[in-house]
Amino acid sequence: MTSPTQLLTPRMAGLLQRIQRANRPPFHSLTPREARIAYRMGAEILDLPRAPLARVEELQVAGLPARLYAPSAERLPVLLYLHGGGFTIGDLETHDSLCRQLSLRSGAAVLALDYRLAPEHRFPAAVDDAWAALEWLHRQADGLGLDGRRLAVGGDSAGGTLAAGAAFFARDRGLPLALQLLITPGTASRADTASHRFFANGFLLDAASIAWFFDQYIARQQRHDWRFAPLEADDHSGLAPACFVLAECDPLVDEGIAYADTLRAAGVDVQLELYRGVTHDFIKMGRQIPEAITALDACAAAIRGQLQT
């Protein structure tokens, strides 16, 4: 039987060894405040340098802090971006480099939202924030010099879960949504797939941390709610086209593939990009992992293709 570690690329394996030697305390051993600080301190160490852009502006969106990125002053289409971090950690700073790269490479504007975090704001606060921001962006884009009729939503990890939920909101409210960009998203109510077992420890996102994030965010009796587990929605038809960016050595990979299959079966246009030998969060490792650059380019191509940048 293949060992999980044998699946890793040499660069990914070496990077994981260096991370493990650093002996940082796992998130589940910290308080939420301590975990946020730790994540912010390390979040962009492996990311590409922050790219200069023509527009980088601090905004208030539906009463929440947000940051707008755009490569030009033209009237551009826009992607609402929802950061990862298990609904508990992460912010505008931890994903600044990633948002800059998505904007730079796609030619579209990116609006990153600083949505409310658990445990201070438990489910469905983050969902409500994502939906409010998408509606706000559709209505207010003209005032920002953007094209609210060419609109996408995206996110990584927990942010991918929120982006998937926002696609239902757009469908049901009649908002024009051209793309849902789902980067290593969570889509299931339980961490019980084969990939959760196979990559439970030593692959950056450990089982204990997943359980900790879930417990911070949502009560057990709520976990079958499709806003947390979009796989369990009753009707997936009519959703916006989806681009999935998945990592082979990620506990979440099986549920990502399952959701892509579910959308495809419902008639949704699906693009699936599976990167072999890399872990969760690999897209934020562009200084070290070449697959991160390839994935960024794939995201940019999907944004350009659907938003016609």
157 catalytic residue (yes or no): yes
Comparison of pLDDT for 24 and 205, the residue scoring more: 205
Give the pLDDT band of residue 309 (cuts 50, 70, 90).
Answer: low
Question: Strand locations in the chain, DSSP E?
Answer: 55-61, 64-70, 76-82, 109-113, 146-156, 179-183, 242-249, 270-279
Question: In the prediction, which pLDDT does 196 show?
Answer: 98
pLDDT per residue as tens digits for the range 175-199: 999 999 999 999 999 999 999 999 9
| pLDDT of 59 above 90 | yes
| pLDDT of 212 above 90 | yes
234 catalytic residue (yes or no): no
Cα separation, 99 vs 155, in Å, equals 10
Pick the catalytic residue from 97, 157, 195, 209: 157
Question: In the prediction, which pLDDT does 1 show?
Answer: 61
Average pLDDT over residues 73-85: 97
Give the pLDDT band of residue 286 (cuts 50, 70, 90).
Answer: very high
Question: In the prediction, which pLDDT does 305 show?
Answer: 97
Question: In the prediction, which pLDDT does 308 show?
Answer: 85
Cα separation, 195 vs 235, in Å, equals 26
Question: In the prediction, which pLDDT does 288 show?
Answer: 96
Task: Give CA 155 to chain center in angstroms.
Answer: 3
Region of 70 please: left (phi>0), alpha (psi -120 to 50) or beta.
beta
Residue 51 structure tokens: 């790219």
Question: In the prediction, which pLDDT does 64 show?
Answer: 98
Pick the catalytic residue from 91, 114, 250, 254: 250
pLDDT per residue as tens digits for the range 229-256: 999 999 999 999 999 999 999 999 999 9
Full set of structural domains in the chain with CATH:
4-307 (3.40.50.1820)
Give first-to-last CA distance, the chain, whole Å: 46
Average pLDDT over residues 42-68: 97
Question: In the prediction, which pLDDT does 3 show?
Answer: 87
206: nearest Cα among 25, 63, 46, 81: 25
Reduce the DSSP state of residue 6 to 3 states and report it: helix
> What is the reported pTM?
0.98
Cα separation, 80 vs 26, in Å, equals 30
Comparison of pLDDT for 2 and 109, the residue scoring more: 109
| pLDDT of 219 above 70 | yes
Cα separation, 182 vs 63, in Å, equals 25
97 catalytic residue (yes or no): no
What are the distances in angstroms from CA 289 to CA 13, 91, 93, 106? 11, 23, 21, 20
Q: Which residues pair with 179 in a beta bridge?
A: 152
224 contacts 254 by C-beta, under 8 angstroms:
no
Comparison of pLDDT for 253 and 22, the residue scoring more: 253
Pick the catalytic residue from 95, 196, 236, 280: 280
